[in-house]
A and B are shown apart, each in its own frame.
With several copies, the nearest count.
Chain A
Amino acid sequence: MPDSPSDAAAGASADAEVDAPVQPSAGDAAPAKQNDAPVMLNVAGAAPEIVMESGESGEEMNLHLGEFAGPLDLLLYLIRQEQVDIYDIPIARITEVYLSHVRAMRELDVSAASEFLVMAAQLIEIKSRMLLPPDPTAAGEEDQEDPRRELVDRLLEHQKFKAAASMLWSRATVEQAVFGRAPIETDKSNPEVAVGVFDLLRVFQEILARKKEEVMMEIERDEVTMTEMLERLRNMIMSAGELNLRHFFERAGNRRELVLAFLSVLELVRTTEVRLFQRETFGEIVLRVVS
């Protein structure tokens, strides 16, 4: 179903800077080394969300992070895969598998979203709370809350929306099999303002951007003088020893600059600082420093 994993993947990378801190340490296997080629993921009978791609050698694997629409999604997948009861999650085991997946993602150079790491931290926290003996001071009160409770609630809620998403997907599929009539003449005088407030904002920003560009060009036009143009040409040619004339002219932002550029070339030739070369008839003209 997911045609463009870019959404989630993009959302993920946005927070990539924050991505460092949580280094899972408690009770998991030694972190795999960085360039350890094929990362083995335990995805036998891969879920539709996971795409395995074999490379030239047949060893490469690719996990499309984007297909897991988030840490809750990944967790749900793992719970299903491990065939555990969502109401009684063996938290240590699931944490372990979860962490290995997140590690795998990072090794596969998928910049794991901070959300995946936040979830990792939460899992570890729940795990450690489950290891604590029951608080004696709280005895007598109603049963102490299961540390997993909040997570389970979120997972169940998330699952509902996942189901809703797939309902929407099938609806859209059916709807794509229904066609309206072809456009007819009278459509041209079309109804209502078909734009929303965000269109206004977008258009406004485009205008501002356009204006900024214009202003910058104006400033340049006003400021570039013959002296500056000569300076620019000298710098360019001195650093390389020679300069393709076409490249120099292409840098001119407008007609006036082009004229100045031309004049400054003539000026340098006149003062015999440079000479013009042409390697072949009708070939590129090259400026070279006179040694």
Chain B
Amino acid sequence: MEVDAAEETERDVVVIHDADAEDRAEERSVGDESAGDGAGLDGEVAPGGDARSMAELMSVIEALVFVSEEPLTAKTLAEVLGEERGWVEVAAQELAKEFNERNGGLMMREVAGGWQIATRVEYHEQVRAYLKSRPSAKLSLAALETLAVIAYKQPVTVPEILEIRGVQSSSAIKTLLEKRLIVAKGRKEVVGRPMLYGTSKEFLLQFGLRDLSELPNIEDFEDLAGGSS
């Protein structure tokens, strides 16, 4: 695509000259004036036959950078959007500047040659606090299996779980105990007096059950399975 000078006037860059936006940005700006001002961009237009305005280009770049797993290069952006790379670079720079001036919770930065949206460093403490506050990790398959055996066979001992699952389950049991999904329920009066395990109230809570009788049984499952045969 080539820059077509004839079309320049019509495609002026709205966003850059948006006085309100600048005012808002200034209000919030941390005094980061040097990060670049719009002056150099004056008069630039989207080249080629595409009628996308600068504002539109910035928006679609924002959406793409947001969904991209990897930092998104101007080259890729240009290819996906069918825009000229130089133009895409201008728009991405401008978008990053807008992020910066907005001084919100997010920033757009260039990393490993591509663009990326990330949280602003100032808020990392709160971000960490939030991440820590989240309930503990998902159950692994081993833990889920062990939990299923305990739920349906309780009270049950470790050797019995081993017998049913055919694999050692001790680390899964430890995880489940830590998550308070299972609790010790006394000892079985056999040789070695192994500990008996059953599900906890936390288990009922997490699975939305009033009591254990609400666990679906094989018949419930077969009722449903019957329909698909």
Is the contact region of chain A dominated by helix, strand, or loop, or is it mixed? helix
A186 to B67 CA separation, bound complex (whole angstroms): 8
A211 at the interface (CB under 8 A from B): yes
| A115: chain B residues within 8 A (beta carbon) | 166-168
A97 at the interface (CB under 8 A from B): no
Partner of B137, one of A49, A67, A70, A189: A189
**Judging by beta carbons under 8 Å apart, are B141 and A67 in contact?**
yes
B27-35, B40-48, B80-88, B208-216: which lies at the A interface? B208-216
**Judging by beta carbons under 8 Å apart, are A180 and B137 in contact?**
no
A272 at the interface (CB under 8 A from B): no
B99 at the interface (CB under 8 A from A): no
**Judging by beta carbons under 8 Å apart, are A158 and B164 in contact?**
yes
**Judging by beta carbons under 8 Å apart, are B118 and A161 in contact?**
no
**Judging by beta carbons under 8 Å apart, are B221 and A164 in contact?**
yes
**Judging by beta carbons under 8 Å apart, are A205 and B141 in contact?**
no
| B219: chain A residues within 8 A (beta carbon) | 160
**Judging by beta carbons under 8 Å apart, are B216 and A174 in contact?**
no
| A10: chain B residues within 8 A (beta carbon) | 171, 227-229
**Judging by beta carbons under 8 Å apart, are B168 and A15 in contact?**
yes
Partner of A168, one of B151, B169, B228: B151
| B229: chain A residues within 8 A (beta carbon) | 10, 13-14, 76, 79-80, 85-86, 159
**Judging by beta carbons under 8 Å apart, are B148 and A179 in contact?**
no
With contacts A71-B166, A198-B177 taken as known, whether A182 is within 8 angstroms of B225 at the C-beta atoms is no
Instruction: Name the interface residues of A189-231: CB closer than 8 Å to any CB of B.
Output: 189-205, 207-208, 210-211, 214
With both beta carbons as reference points, the residue of chain A lying nearest to B224 in the complex is identified as A163
B127 at the interface (CB under 8 A from A): yes
A261 to B222 CA separation, bound complex (whole angstroms): 40
Binary interface encoding of chain B residues 95-114 relative to chain A, with 1 for a CB under 8 A from any of its CBs, else 0: 00000000000000000000
| B22: chain A residues within 8 A (beta carbon) | none
A175 at the interface (CB under 8 A from B): yes
**Judging by beta carbons under 8 Å apart, are B171 and A207 in contact?**
no
**Judging by beta carbons under 8 Å apart, are A191 and B70 in contact?**
yes
B189 at the interface (CB under 8 A from A): no
A182 to B79 CA separation, bound complex (whole angstroms): 20
A53 at the interface (CB under 8 A from B): no
With contacts A115-B166, A158-B164 taken as known, whether A4 is within 8 angstroms of B140 at the C-beta atoms is yes
Instruction: Name the interface residues of A22-72: CB closer than 8 Å to any CB of B.
Output: 49, 66-67, 69-72
A184 to B24 CA separation, bound complex (whole angstroms): 30
A66 to B141 CA separation, bound complex (whole angstroms): 8
A208 to B165 CA separation, bound complex (whole angstroms): 8
**Judging by beta carbons under 8 Å apart, are A202 and B221 in contact?**
yes
**Judging by beta carbons under 8 Å apart, are A72 and B124 in contact?**
no
| A165: chain B residues within 8 A (beta carbon) | 141, 144-145, 147-148
Partner of B67, one of A14, A86, A179, A210: A179
**Judging by beta carbons under 8 Å apart, are B140 and A3 in contact?**
yes
Instruction: Name the interface residues of B16-61: CB closer than 8 Å to any CB of A.
Output: none
**Judging by beta carbons under 8 Å apart, are A189 and B134 in contact?**
yes
A157 at the interface (CB under 8 A from B): yes
**Judging by beta carbons under 8 Å apart, are A175 and B140 in contact?**
no
| A196: chain B residues within 8 A (beta carbon) | 177, 180, 183-184, 200, 207-208
B93 at the interface (CB under 8 A from A): no
A110 to B191 CA separation, bound complex (whole angstroms): 35
With both beta carbons as reference points, the residue of chain A lying nearest to B120 in the complex is identified as A178
A187 at the interface (CB under 8 A from B): yes
Partner of B138, one of A1, A66, A72, A181: A1
**Judging by beta carbons under 8 Å apart, are A181 and B66 in contact?**
yes
A236 at the interface (CB under 8 A from B): no
**Judging by beta carbons under 8 Å apart, are B208 and A175 in contact?**
yes
With both beta carbons as reference points, the residue of chain B lying nearest to A178 in the complex is identified as B118
Q: List 23 A-B contacts (CB under 8 A).
A: A7-B142, A69-B167, A70-B142, A70-B165, A119-B166, A157-B164, A159-B228, A161-B152, A167-B216, A168-B144, A169-B138, A169-B144, A174-B208, A178-B118, A178-B208, A179-B131, A193-B138, A196-B177, A198-B177, A200-B207, A203-B145, A205-B218, A208-B164
Query: A69-B165, A160-B218 given. 7 additional CB < 8 A pairs?
Result: A10-B171, A12-B167, A67-B141, A72-B165, A156-B225, A186-B67, A197-B184
